[in-house]
A and B are shown apart, each in its own frame.
Chain A
Amino acid sequence: MHKNEVWVFVEQRNGKPADVSFELLSKGRKLADSMKGVLKAIVIGHDVKGIATETFKYGANEAILVDHPDLKLFRTMPYTRIMNDLIKQHNPRIILFGATVYGRDLAPRVASNTKSGLTADCTDLKISDVKYLGKDYPQLLLQIRPAFGGNIVATIITPDVHVQMATVREGVMEMHPCEKPFPVKITEVAYKPIDIDGILEVIEQHVEESKVNLKGAPIIVAGGYGLGSKENFKLLHDLAHVIGGEVAGSRAAVDAGFIGSERQVGQTGVTVRPKLYIAVGISGAIQHRAGMQEAKKIIAINTDPDAPIFGVSHYGIVGDAAQVIPLLIETYKNKLK
């Protein structure tokens, strides 16, 4: 019988692998193990054999490499066609994509072509036997995500299709280098350009190295809509400066323009695991909690004593940030400097 195959689409930008792809390989390894299957990395690009080799560090059994000068930059049409052809040929059971701009461009189109199920922005993935409408389905992929504005957590399954797809945001899964990697086995697949591949041209590409590194920050000071203004965010910058942290925000704060989207923590932003997370004026919707609840220590500061953020905090302060934060800065300076 065909082995259960778990695939990870390994995204690269200008020849550099995306972190989220290695995180997904680490998760994919676990999923493959729990269904006694194999993990394959799909690497598409130009001069990317190095990336294909690197995937074995994160648990791949095999890498499928499609390398061609025309594939240097991501373009929907050729990348979709390559994925569709590979899927039809190998019939994998699971495919994971990073929920990046490229991943969210590619995955739905591939799912549409191959008539696969697809769940966006999963916060957890598991393999389980499922009884659904009286029928038994062995080893289904449980695709878990908050839904409906975060008011429910839904477990999505795609029982009646063979290929189960999911996208996952960067930082949600943890990257684990393998202790005993499998031997490198790279299978090269040829790419032949066709007319429609050239229908879209990338004329220019501007990518700036992100100066923000929320994922790596040991301390994060995050603000929410409750802070009320961009000016009040200055308090957070002051605090972060003194205690050596990064500033972040909830989606509501980003939507209100208090802080840039590259600093958004939560289901549709970045997932962080700092040693200290200070949530200021954040009510604590589940999408936000999904992105920060694994912090080692959480301090919540909020004027509303019933704010749900207190439910995940280790230390709660009911009070106005404009008064509490200056006090906190002053006390910190007195005690530690």
Chain B
Amino acid sequence: MFKSIVLVKQVPDTANITGKVMKDDGTVNRSMLPAIFNYEDKVALEFALQIKDTYGGKVIAITMGPARAADILRECLFMGADEVYAISDRKFAGADTLATSYVLSEAIKKIGDYDFIFAGRQAIDGDTAQVGPQTAEKLEIPQITYAEEILGIKDGKIKIKKKIDGGYEIVQCKMPVLITVLKGAAEPRPFQAKRIMAYKGAKTLTELEKLTEGNSLLYVDTMKHEYEERNLFIETYSADDLKVDESRCGIKGSPTKVHKVESVVLSGGSKELIEPTRDGMGILIDKLLEDRIF
């Protein structure tokens, strides 16, 4: 029986930028990008679910983000997570990886003991791969990054195959340990129809408040109680709940600052156009000979 906590993140779908989200000046309208479940985090969840399938135990998914990030927590429930937590507060906004890992580590401490923490290697909106190791450091536990395969768990140690530059390593580590998982490591299981039916109505407090807009606070409280009874209430941890040091959260707690941002305007137009014909290719090769390329 092992308990796993999985760190998941909702990200803007930066990989699929279509004309619709481009502004007239050629830059991207970020608010138009669809929000998706960071794929490597889904793979991390799959790792945790596989451990539960084999050894028994429990899988908990947590996400730090704005209110709408509850979408991916519901998706975690659809895949098989036992419990999910939203970590959300205006005070957490604008966090870099250092501030994010601080809040995540405090949330994990509040959730309690665990054998494993899983996370995707990196999120596609920043590609930094920093939050995993920084969370492990704050929890004072070891880490295995770039995991490709779980080879077994025995005597309180997990054996993992992990990628390194130009090859791989087989490592064995005492638990608890934080493991970051690579894209190809496992195929995330599809949402299960039964679980979708059971959990599609799961809601955070913020979502319940929206649902009951215009009604009294008392009514929200009744609703909350009812959702809890039906196991559909998604707990949210705020800065107060976690008793965090606010100077280490959000923008305040982030040493990295964006000094300057230049939107990339991608323009076309070659210096020289070559016809896609036999004659064109002849001209091109002559030019390359002139350039002393060949």
Contacts and interface: CB of A to CB of B under 8 A. Distances in A.
A218 B136 CA distance: 43
A308 B293 contact: no
Interface stretch (B53-61, B74-82, B166-174, B185-193): B166-174
B14 A148 contact: yes
B266 A308 contact: yes
B259 A130 contact: yes
Nearest to B136: A109
Contacts of B131: 108
B127 A268 contact: yes
Contacts of B146: 101, 105
B231 interface: no
B272 interface: yes
Interface of B is mostly: mixed
A160 B255 contact: yes
A142 interface: yes
A203 B170 contact: yes
Contacts of B129: 104, 108, 120
A174 B168 CA distance: 27
Given A109-B137, A155-B260, A202 B169 contact: yes
Nearest to A113: B137
B197 interface: no
Interface in A303-329: 305-308, 310-311, 313-320, 323-324, 327-328
B143 A105 contact: yes
Interface residues of B, number: 79
Contacts of B171: 200-203
B276 A318 contact: yes
Interface in A161-218: 161, 196, 199-210
B140 to A, nearest CB: 9
Nearest to B151: A203
B66 interface: no
Interface stretch (B106-114, B157-165, B217-225, B235-243): B157-165
Interface in B100-157: 101, 124-134, 136-138, 142-146
A264 to B, nearest CB: 13
B268 interface: yes
B262 interface: yes
A146 B264 contact: yes
Residue of B165, B169, B174, B280 with most chain A CB atoms under a 10 A cut-off: B165
B34 interface: no
Contacts of A118: 97-98, 130, 256
A153 B265 CA distance: 10
B259 A311 contact: no
A198 to B, nearest CB: 9
Interface stretch (A25-33, A39-47, A228-236, A292-300): A292-300
Contacts of B205: none
B267 A297 contact: no
Nearest to A267: B127
A276 B291 CA distance: 10
Interface residues of A, number: 93
A132 B259 contact: yes
A160 B98 CA distance: 14
A147 B126 contact: yes
A208 B271 contact: no
A308 B27 CA distance: 13
B133 A112 contact: yes
A156 B274 contact: no
Interface string B263-289: 110111111111111101110111111
Contacts of B28: 148-149, 151-152
A135 to B, nearest CB: 11
A157 B173 CA distance: 36
A10 interface: no
Contacts of B282: 331, 335
A76 interface: yes
B163 A101 contact: yes
A157 B164 contact: no
Contacts of B293: 219, 275-276, 296-297
Contact of A100 (B15, B30, B165, B285): B165
A121 interface: yes
A65 interface: no
B126 A76 contact: no
A208 to B, nearest CB: 6
A244 to B, nearest CB: 9
B259 A142 contact: yes
B194 interface: no
Minimum-distance CB pairs A-B, first 4: A149-B14, A316-B270, A319-B276, A308-B266
7 contacts: A76-B133, A117-B96, A117-B255, A208-B166, A275-B293, A315-B284, A327-B278
